Amino acid sequence: MSEGALAALDDEQRVAASLLRGPVCVLAGAGTGKTRVITHRIAHGVDTGAYSPGRVMAVTFTAKAAGEMRGRLRALGVEGVAARTFHATALAQLNFFWPQLANDTAPSIVDKKVRVLGQAADLLRLHLDAATLRDVASRIEWRKVAMRTIDQDAAAHPTGLGSLDAGALADLMRAYEKVKDERRQLDFEDVLLACAGMLESEPRVAAAVHEQYRHLTVDEFQDVSPVQHRLLELWLGDRHDICVVGDPSQTIYSFVGADPRYLLDFADRHEDAQVVRLERNYRSDPGILTVANALMHGRPGALTLSSATAPDATSGGVAPVATAYPDDAAEADGVAGTVAAQIAAGVSPDDIAVLYRANAQSAPLLAALAARGIAASVLGGRRFFDLPEVRQAVMALRGASVAPVETTFLAAVRDVLRSLGLSDDPPPAGGALRDAWEARAAVLRLAEEAPEGTTLRGFTDELMARGRDQHEPALRTVTLATLHAAKGLEWDHVHLVGLSEGLLPISYASTPAEIDEERRLVYVGITRAGRTLSLSWSEQVGSPGHGAPRPRQRSRFVPEIGTGNLRAGGARATRAARPRS
């Protein structure tokens, strides 16, 4: 198992997975196999006897990423590793130790911060609208992840927030904390702060955690906030067995406290740290990597990606297409036309993504795709296994599994799904009926891919396990997603739209640090692409019949990439443009 786990890795990955004692820092560029390295490193440690699975803590930032990590470890024969998010890990420790320390159950978790804030505002006789309450909630979250007191936050923001001066804002924050305390509640950020406080103030708790978890692995380390970093220090104690993995060029959550300096300065903070760089990209064609490298050239910590399929090529390959459209409607229509041509050429819709900066950009794209009969799904909506059609299908299949089966497994699944509305031909794109059809069709594909000998009961058990791990199947639809939502995902064909000043970079990004964050967002979008990449923008705001158009400038990031690295798509833009009135 040990040699098998390492044999599946390239030379650089193998080095990283072989370093079983920390501190270890793996700088892993986009598409270089960081999750593969993490899981194979743990499997190698378990197989050689260096690790006991129950003493390994692997933390990441999303439940989906943690579920994927557990799934990959299971596939490598490793069970029992605590692979969770930061919050899930901290909450588990609070729930375990709180009754021992306080002789009472742990506080409950606030499900809606804005609602509690509204109640606190009422106590102060403040009349605040929902938008202001949301802004205050965001300020509270920022204050806590930055580990600032209310007074420190007031000193840092002397102008207050909106209609609230600094004093009123501080009073509202205190009232919010008082309401929570009276109800014995913690909010999302309190979970991390409370766990850190417990470990700092209770030596026996810290000793128990250190005894339980000897080996610490942290994924997406570039996204660590100050409070998360403090919690990691407390989990680690005076030991050194920590492995962190991340990419400074993919830091896109600074607005919620992420600080890439923890990754960039890891070797300075940890004596004798071993640093491994993964720059061999297994996802993208050389032309796409050329664009990505050009955009990030000279930026702190930027890795230079090379193609694993063409290892000698640091440039060249088919250049991505850049297209200027007359207006937003023409851009949406032109991108939809290109997507339609790709599908007509045999590309599966689920291998195509359209990425953008803001959620509001999705509406015209959805309409343009639907007008061509192309089904699309917006990433970031309800989870697949939470969809009512999927929950209904799982329950119906579960019920069918207890009855005598007079047909094959696959035929039984098909019969159940047909009874729920899965027809042979899909409904028209762009409506709820098509969305439900696509969800049921995805369940059928999972059955078609099930191993020989699978039973209905076994299949429903697998569906429920996938739901717990958020291991969701791909819908056969084109994906629409914001750049933030697309992080960690990949598609063969990516269309990155809205590369205009005011959209990318976003209008409120004004400082050099904020512009750098926008540049990293573009980099994330570019590196989602495997085979083809198109970049586009519109030359004016508005469309014919929708008010007076205003000129719009091409994003500053396009010349940073270099026009020599891009192919012009002007002919397509001309054909896609709609006639002007």
**31 assigned binding-site residue:** yes
Distance between alpha carbon 287 and the CA centroid of its chain, in Å? 25
Rounded (to 5) percent helix, strand, coil in the chain: 50, 15, 35
**375 assigned binding-site residue:** no
- Rounded Cα–Cα distance for residues 176 and 253 (Å): 25
CA distances to 173, 276, 280, 294, 337 from 319, rounded to whole Å, are 52, 30, 19, 13, 20
How many beta carbons lie within 10 A of that of residue 249, not counting itself? Answer: 26
What one-character-per-residue DSSP string does 16-67 give? HHH--SS-EEEEE-TTS-HHHHHHHHHHHHHHTTS--GGGEEEEES-HHHHH
- Rounded Cα–Cα distance for residues 133 and 427 (Å): 41
**439 assigned binding-site residue:** no
**35 assigned binding-site residue:** yes
Distance between alpha carbon 145 and the CA centroid of its chain, in Å? 19
Q: Which residues pair with 568 in a beta bridge?
A: 322
**197 assigned binding-site residue:** no
Count Cα atoms within 13 angstroms, Cβ side, for 506. Answer: 16
**33 assigned binding-site residue:** yes
Query: What amino acid occupies position 25?
Result: C
Cβ atoms of 340 and 374 closer than 8 Å: yes
Residue 184 region by backbone torsions, left for phi larger than 0, else alpha for psi between -120 and 50, else beta: left
**421 assigned binding-site residue:** no
Cβ atoms of 376 and 365 closer than 8 Å: yes
**308 assigned binding-site residue:** no
Which residue numbers belong to the known binding site?
A: 28-35
Which residue numbers belong to the known binding site for ATP?
A: 28-35
